[in-house]
Structure formats: structure tokens, C-alpha cells
Amino acid sequence: MEDIPLDIMLIALIISLILSGFFSLSETSMMAINRYRLKHLVKQGHRGARLTTKLLDHTDRLLGVILLGNNLLNTVSATLVAVIISTFFSHSEFALLIGTLCVTLAILIFSEITPKVVAAAYPDRIALAASYILTPLLKIFYPIVWFVNLFVSAVLFLLRLKPNKADSAHPISSEELKTLVLEGGHFIQKKHQSMLLNLFDLESATVDDVIVPCSQIEAIDLDASDELIHNQLLTCHHTRLPVHRGRQDNIVGIVHVRNVLNQMKKGQITAGALEKVMSSPYFIPSGTPLFSQLQLFQENQKRVGLVVDEYGEWLGLVTIEDIIEEIVGEFTTQAPSQTGLFMKQQDGSILVEGSSLLRDLNRKLGLQLPLDGPKTLNGLIVEHFEDIPEAGIGLNIAGYPMEIVQAKDQVVKVVRIFPVRPLVNQGTG
């Protein structure tokens, strides 16, 4: 090599540094590429994505050809510098030391660090482009790569390591998916983002979180007079009403108001006529997950379910609209019996009915009350005191100051929730 002109050797050195940088680019971009975006491009028929996927299916071969080329070119660069130093500096040890330091610095800057930083910033573009070069290179050098990987496999066997494709699939948990949705705010509409987040939150919710308690339910008593039943049907605010006989928890059916409209035109509706058109009640065990109940509503072609506890006691009802609203937000008009649950006062405090669901309070008022225990504000307060509190008592739950305004019949009826100052406004002086 001493007969080779200096300019030729310098050009060869620059080319080897550039090619080594290409392999560093390829290594980092292939390992950092978004696998899910890659799958999407494969479905769209992108050729580079298909080649990249095939390369990533055999990571040992891919890394083998990349590292083979990278190390080979780095060795060539070091050898060229050694030849240049020995030829033009008479084998000077000091010159050889300086040359070694210079080539090491050049490799670090131009062949390692800079390419890898660039590849980490634009992994998708670089990996797809590099696949067109790496694919034929792997075919050319496959015998060498296969031979080297024999020793790699032996070392992994001795270390009791057995990597497989399942380990490289990178399964995503629900929390990671939630983070992806939050970080994708620029690409997902705000409403769609909110719906996706509600879907993730729905995994931990049960029918008890959206139940309408018995005290807020319109129901028809078959033992009542025909005139009372007729007037109740004329003034009801729902299309489906539970029907009971005597006690309210003795549910015997569900009546669809539309089914009795024609009979009401003919005259006053009677309890007997109501029994003919009502359907059998559909009962739901307390604690049923919302996702499961949504599917059960679909399978049983039902829209209303009556929630019962482990003793068979009727707790309230859940409709398919209640579950859908947990995903898309409120889209129906509430009945007068359910309005006025939250009344904002002039001092900034809010009067809330004790029967309000904690999930509703958190969603509509922006609170963060605990959801892992009782489902209503009354239940939360009773659990906090471990007794039935009286009106006028103040308390603090989860950092929210509250005052019991009205308590009656062993139940907290009305609560005043006071505003909480943001932490950034709370000084130490």
C-alpha cells in the first residue's frame, strides 16, 4: 500500500468513514422505528416497509450484516491512517499516536455519534430507505453472517437466553395506550380523544357507577287506581317505566309507553291492560362491568336493566344510554327529577345532592373524588364518618372542603362543596 498515492488513500479513508456512518444510521433507525406505523405502511403496500419488516423479523441476521460492515469499515479506516502515518512520517511513534487519536475522533463524530443522533430523530425515513441497500447486502454476506451467528447462538445458549419473536413484539398495556392517545392530541380531534380515554376508563367501571337509584326512578304501581296510572303515563318523562305491585322493590315488568299510546286514545288505561303489554323485567347483578353489560344488552336485545344486589334487593336501574354516555358524553335530556343535582352558589360553592354519583361529580365538576369505594356522595361521607352525620357538620375528603346542609332519614340529602384553590396560588408566607 506504500505505492498508493496519498490522495487516493485519503479518499478511501473518507469513503470508509461515510459508509461506516451509513451502517450506524441503519442500526439505530431499524431499532428505533415505530413498529405500528411500519405495519400500517405494509398494509398500504409500501415496498420499503415490507423489506424493513422482513429484516426486522430476523434481528440476528440484520444486526450481523450491519455490525459486520460497520466494524470492517472502521478497521479499514484505522489501517489506512496507520499506513499514511508510517509512509509519510517515517514510522514515528508520536505521529502514530496522534493519527490513532484523530481517526478515533473522526470515527466517533462522523461514523457513530452524528449518524445515530440523526437516525434517532428520523428513524422511519432512514430505515425504509436503508432497507433497499441492506436487503441485497444480507444476501451477499449471508454465509459470513450465518457463520458468525453460530457462535452468537452458542453464547446465548450458555447464558440460558432464548430470545424469540414474541419478545420483540412489544405488547402495549392499556396505560401505555392511554399515554399514546394523550400524546397524539395534535393528530386526534379533541372529542375523539375524549371518547378513547373514556373507553380506557370504562374497563374499571361497573353498573354501580352509573346506576339510577330507586329514589329517582319513575315507576308504576299496578295496585294504584286506574286514574292515577293513566295520569302518570301522560306526564312521564321516560319511554320505558318499571312496573311494580305494591312495594316498589316488587318489580313485575317493564312497560314501553309507546305500546300503550293507542289504548290511551280509546280511553283510560287500566292496570289489566298494562299487564298485557308490559315485558318481563331484565335483572343485572350488582358489580357487572360496563363493557360486559353493554355486550349483554346487545345479545339480549334489551335497553333497560334492573340492578339487584347479592340478596336480590333492587338497587336501581341502568340503561344502555347510561353506558354509551360514559363513552361519548351526555347526549340526552335529563328528566326534571334528575336535574338540579348541582347548583352553583354566588360564593363559588356548589350544592350537590347526596345521591349524586361520584363519577358524575368528577366528570361534570372536574373533581377527583375516590372511586374505589362507595359510588355516591352520601356513601362516601357515611364511610368517612363511619356514622350517620348531622346537618351543619364540616369535613374534608380528598382535599375538598364540604358541609352537610341537609340530612334526613339516615341519608345525607344535600352537601355544599367549597372551591379549592390551585396549589400554584398557595403561598408559604
382 vs 215, higher pLDDT: 382
pLDDT at 424 over 50: no
Tell me which CATH code domain 340-425 carries.
3.30.465.10
CATH code 3.10.580.10 region(s) in the chain:
205-333
166 vs 393, higher pLDDT: 393
Other Cβ atoms closer than 10 A to 49? 22
Confidence of residue 340 (pLDDT cuts 50, 70, 90): very low
pLDDT digits (tens, 9 = 90+) for 364-418: 888 888 888 888 888 899 888 888 888 888 888 888 899 999 888 888 889 999 8
pLDDT digits (tens, 9 = 90+) for 236-248: 888 888 999 888 8
Q: Topology of domain 205-333, per CATH?
A: CBS-domain (3.10.580)
Distance between CA 372 and CA 341 in Å, rounded? 22
Q: Write the DSSP string, 311-345.
A: T--EEEEEEHHHHHHHHH---SPPPGGGS-SEEE-
Inter-residue contact 176 to 154 (CB < 8 Å): no
According to the model, what pLDDT value does residue 195 have?
Answer: 79
pTM, rounded to two decimals: 0.59
Site of grid cell 392499556:
174
Please state, in angstroms and as integers, the Cα–Cα distance from residue 374 to each residue in 97, 158, 357, 377, following that order: 75, 55, 9, 8
Reference 415, options 385, 377, 364; nearest CA is 377
C-alpha torsion angle, residues 336, 339, 340, 342 (rounded to 10): 170
Q: Which phi and psi (to 5°) does residue 428 adopt?
A: -100, -10
Please state, in angstroms and as integers, the Cα–Cα distance from residue 31 to each residue in 53, 67, 116, 168, 207, following that order: 12, 13, 11, 10, 44
Per-residue cell: 244: 311494580
Instruction: Give the list of residues 6+ apart from residue 398 with CB closer than 8 angstroms, or none.
Output: 367, 368, 369, 370
CATH code 3.30.465.10 region(s) in the chain:
340-425
Distance between CA 394 and CA 400 in Å, rounded? 11
How large is the average pLDDT for residues 90-103? 80
Confidence of residue 167 (pLDDT cuts 50, 70, 90): very low
Mean pLDDT, the chain, integer: 83
Distance between CA 28 and CA 300 in Å, rounded? 53
pLDDT digits (tens, 9 = 90+) for 232-282: 888 888 888 899 988 888 899 998 888 887 777 666 677 888 888 888 999
- Helix ranges (DSSP H) in 33-92: 35-43, 47-56, 59-88
Per-residue cell: 24: 450506524
Instruction: Give the list of residues 6+ apart from residue 303 with CB closer than 8 angstroms, or none.
Output: 240, 297, 319, 320, 321
